[in-house]
Amino acid sequence: MESNFDLSLEGITAKKVLRNAPPAKLYEEALRNETGSAISNTGALMVYSGEKTGRSPKDKRIVENPESAKDIWWGDVNIPLDHHTFKINRERAIDYLNTCPQIYVVDGYAGWEPENRLKVRVICSRGYHALFMHNMLIRPTQRELENFGKPDFTIYNAGAFPANRYTKGISSKTSVAVSFEDKQLVILGTEYAGEMKKGVFTIMNYLMPKKNVLSMHCSANVGKDNSVSLFFGLSGTGKTTLSADPQRKLIGDDEHGWSDKGIFNVEGGCYAKCIELSAEKEPEIFQAIRFGTVLENVVYDPMQRLVDFDNKSITENTRASYPIEYIPQIAMPCVGGHPKNVVFLTCDAFGVLPPVSKLSPEQAMYHFISGYTAKVAGTEMGVTEPQATFSACFGAAFMVWHPTKYAELLSQKIQKHGSQAWLVNTGWSGGGYGKGSRLSLKFTRAIIDAINNGELLKIETHKDKLFGFEIPTACPGVPSEILNPRNTWEDKAAYDATARKLADLFKNNFKKYETSGSKKISDAGPA
């Protein structure tokens, strides 16, 4: 809808502004004004993000202000920017937006829990970006919109206009900069919509720990008995697949908070990868692609308007953005109680870790900070054997505080609410990649079922001498011989050598956290 509400505080003087326009209007705007936009045979809006088809982490900056500087984990993830440069970027973005014949404003919320809800205003120049954030933020009711008032944070998305690469602290024409004191995020030089989504998550990752709320890069679901499970994991570990359980309701697939009341989803929608998507493999996501969904950077046949989900010619990072209620098995509102189980998923391409192991609170902190998975040979040029990947808190790119801050909050909440942590390997068994075989999804689902229904807690365990965690001796629906990974290797000496190699990789990675964490956490790693 067109609106004459006051945007002067944000510096906007554009003549035509659409505020919280309905999807049909945003479709119309995108189709009329944006090159390459089309409607697929499913009714989804197909769009292209231009040159950038993924996030630009090397161009992300945080303003170094005295008030927040002491809190921030400065380094490769959080690169400082001076406030003067930020003001230049903001003025550049506002000037560009004011030259546009029409701009879009989306007001929405981040966080389903009212006490921890953030009012977010997005100001952008593309109808597709407005529809994307209409999906990804929690949508206000008409009454809430009328009384929305001043936002807690404002996003200026002038992604079609470049940053000045000669400005101090700016390294390219792309800049994604946040100022916690100004309560603003400014985007220049990239039209990839995911920068807005992850920008909001970065903001929540800074603000929530100040309120003793743990912000988490994880999925969450809830059973019929109201028991909640969390699933942490990097790309390729099965986080989305395993949390989509027909016997349980999905709370959310990516971003959550854990407060004194329980778990809440941060978002109002899903941003699912859709490369090689099919109705057989992921029916819920496939069925969610309909009117109101944004299909980003997918390839289609313009004559028949048929989407080719297998085509990677634009990018492998093809995406679908849709409101969370498009998923049939959804917990609404998207909240739950304190989690009964916390599951860390890893795809161990070395074939060393067991299919499931039970963690103590200290081990949970260690593996949470480590955030381990492995790349397999052949996935990248020059990768000839498995390579370990560590991403702190299973989402280092979005963490603002030092990882131990989030780990301490996790440990406190696990111990206070009696949650049990587990490490589940969805990778290889019987040898590493190229020698062993990938663990069956059927067996992994049986493990998750046994965790969720409490069966695995009743089973006897034995301690792994090298890694220290407890390995169950049995699991319903899983052959007992595969639960101890050493038993699955023909060459036991080769297993021992590979296990020591992986343990050393863990220990070397953790050295950078030892000065900030307690000795108890360090001692919870491999011996």
The residues annotated with a catalytic role in the active site are 55, 198, 217, 235, 239-240, 254, 319
Q: Is 457 exposed, middle or buried (0-12, 13-18, 19+ CB in 10 A)?
A: middle
Nearest to 316 by CA among 296, 333, 334: 296
Residue 142 is which amino acid?
Q
Cα angle at 178 between 65 and 115, to 5 degrees?
A: 95
As a whole number of angstroms, the distance between CA 106 and CA 148 comes to 11
Q: How many CA atoms lie within 13 A of 73 on its CB side?
A: 20
List of E strands, 125-203: 153-158, 175-179, 184-188
**Largest pairwise CA distance in the chain:** 73
Nearest to 49 by CA among 189, 198, 203: 189
Give the strand pairing for 153-158 and 118-124: parallel
Classify residue 478 by its DSSP letter. Answer: B
As a whole number of angstroms, the distance between CA 83 and CA 67 comes to 12
Nearest to 279 by CA among 313, 309, 315: 309
Torsion of CA 72, 420, 360, 402, to 10 degrees: 0
Cis status of the peptide bond prior to 323, with omega within 30 of 0: no
Tokens of 456: 């695995």
Strand pairing partners for 105? 19, 123
Q: How many CB atoms lie within 10 A of CB 380?
A: 9
End-to-end CA distance of the chain: 62
Query: Which residues, at least 6 apart from 454, have a Cβ–Cβ distance to it below 8 Å?
Result: 340
261 to each of 190, 258, 337, how far by Cα in Å? Answer: 38, 8, 7
CB < 8 Å & 24+ apart, contacts of 305-311: 305/38, 305/39, 305/40, 305/41, 306/40, 306/41, 307/40, 307/41, 307/42, 307/44, 307/46, 309/274, 309/275, 309/276, 309/277, 309/278, 310/275, 310/276
Query: Which residues, at least 6 apart from 95, have a Cβ–Cβ distance to it below 8 Å?
Result: none
Nearest to 30 by CA among 178, 193, 249, 190: 193
